[in-house]
Amino acid sequence: MAETSGDLRFEGITKKFGDFVAVDDLDLTVPQGSFFALLGPSGCGKTTSLRMAAGLEEPTAGRVLIGETDITGLRPYKRPVNTVFQSYALFPHLTIFDNVAFGLRRRGVQDFKKKTQDMLELVQLDGYAARKPTQLSGGQQQRVALARALVNEPGVLLLDEPLGALDLKLRRQMQIELKRIQTDVGITFVHVTHDQEEAMTMADTIAVMNHGVIEQMGTPAELYENPRTTFVANFLGQSNLIMATVTGRSGDSLVVDCEGQTIEVEASRSHVESGRAWLGVRPEKLTAVPTGREDHAGANVLTGGKVSDVSFVGVSTQYLVAMPWGEELMVFQQNTGQHTPLGHGDTVDLVWSPGHAFLLDAKQDAHAGMMTPEDDE
């Protein structure tokens, strides 16, 4: 058995299926004990990366390491890694107890009975030991799959879309449950998902993957507040992207011209130095105020908007504001009572703090990473 602890590292990992490059020269370090999410749309290479860590797929080039041990050439059954499969892959001919005890028995662990029993208690299924998997609900099967992998105390636990088959309410519940279990056991979790909300809820660190490469890696707040690419800006939450031109510098900020209006963006949040750029602002960072109502000293302002749509959604009101250059911007306003409710056709200014916008490369596709309805399940 290889060394069982340490960081999980991918060094220059490439995986090709024929001509298709699923994973392209991937370098990645997952710190020991972290809850790490690989987030991306289907076909981005996240599951392939996970399967290479499990040993179910062999990389075309590169190395996989745990700590200092190279596990690239190890067969799956010799790796200190366990997987929670997307379809759970529970053994239908074995009872819940035998499913969970499977790995312990194969390794000849003496007190497998007690360990299995304890693990069933941890996932709150101790009354179900004698049942068969088909006699359990989806959520229960999911917990059996988790217990079956966790009971082996692997160095790294791999989770392949573990909550994908559950309904929304159960998924929320399991997200909290998974997070609690990870904190309890302290094992490194690598969680593959296409659900950005799920990744942000659970993970300490998220790597956003697209077309076989990592677009950006960081804490959920970093990725959300300061995305580096249009893909990340759109895939995590929603963004307004406006075409702008960098015209100069003022202290720690870049000055940009946005359809004739001057805007400042903090340099640390600007991922271009000069020329054309996408100015990005999250909808909830924008405030829409009736034209000429207030003094906006120190804030960025875009004037000349006209409310074209109002949707009341309880905690907030979502506005679409048509700008003079034809683009419609989204504004989410919390219903705290501090904002004046706006009506269809009102003329408004859009206001935000300079620390809330970001500047992205204009060559990138403004629609990259946007959810199409069939992706968003």
Partner 1 sequence: MTSTAGVPPVAPEPVVDGETSRRRGWGWLLLVPGMLWLAVFFLFPTVQLVFTSLYDPSGSYETGYAMTWHFGNYADAVRDNFTLFVRSFMYAGIATVICLSLGYPLAYAIAFKAGRWKNFMLVLVIAPFFTSFLLRTLSWRTILSDQGPVTSFLQTIAVLPDDGRLLATPVAVIAGLVYNFMPFMTLPLYASLDKVDYRLIEAAGDLYSSPLTGFRRVTFPLSLPGVVSGTLLTFIPACGDYINAELLGTPKQYMVGNRIQAAFLTEHNYPLAASLSIILMAVVVLMVVFYVRRAGTEELV
Taking the complex as a whole, the smallest distance from the CB of residue 14 to partner 1 amounts, in Å, to 22
Stretch that binds partner 1, among 9-17, 131-139, 259-267, 301-309 (CB under 8 A): 131-139
CA–CA separation, 103 and 138 (whole Å): 22
Q: Could you give the 3-state DSSP secondary structure of residue 96?
A: helix
- For residue 48, give the nearest of 34, 62, 35 by alpha carbon: 62
Provide the pairing of β-strand 205-210 with 35-39.
parallel
Q: Which of 31, 73, 76, 186 binds partner 1 (CB under 8 A)?
A: 76
115 in contact with partner 1 (CB under 8 A)? no
Least gap, CB of 153 to partner 1 (angstroms): 12
- Which of 90-127 are b and which e, b meaning 16 or more Cβ less than 10 Å from the residue's Cβ? beeeebbbbbbbbbbeeeebeebeebbbebbebbebee
With CB under 8 A as the rule, give the number of residues binding partner 1: 32
Q: Binding mask 77-106 vs partner 1 (x if CB under 8 A, - otherwise)?
A: x---xxx-x-x-x-xxx--------xx--x
Nearer to partner 1, 118 or 309 (CB): 118
Determine the residue type at 331: V
Among 42, 124, 247, 250, binds partner 1 (CB under 8 A): 124
The minimum distance between CB 9 and partner 1, in angstroms, equals 20
Do residues 48 and 59 make contact, with C-beta atoms less than 8 angstroms apart? Answer: no
In angstroms, rounded to a whole number, what is the distance separating the alpha carbons of residues 100 and 113?
10
Distances (CA, A) of 242 to 106, 216, 279, 361, 369: 58, 21, 5, 12, 16
CB of 292 to partner 1, least distance (A): 54
Min dist. Cβ of residue 24 to partner 1 (A): 24
Site residues (CB under 8 A) for partner 1, limited to 35-64: 54-56
Alpha-carbon gap, residue 207 to 216, rounded angstroms: 6
How crowded is residue 243: how many other Cβ atoms within 10 Å of its Cβ?
Answer: 14
Q: Are 214 and 46 in contact (CB under 8 A)?
A: no
Of 123 and 279, which has the nearer Cβ to partner 1? Answer: 123
Is 163 near partner 1 (CB under 8 A)?
A: no
Provide the minimum distance between the beta carbon of 102 and partner 1 in the complex, in angstroms, as a whole number: 5
Residue 170 CB, shortest distance to partner 1, in Å, is 9
Amino acid letter, residue 273:
E
In the window 343-372, what residues touch partner 1 (CB under 8 A)?
none
The binding site for partner 1 (CB under 8 A) comprises 54-56, 75-77, 81-83, 85, 87, 89, 91-93, 102-103, 106-107, 124-128, 132, 134, 137, 148-149, 152, 173, 177
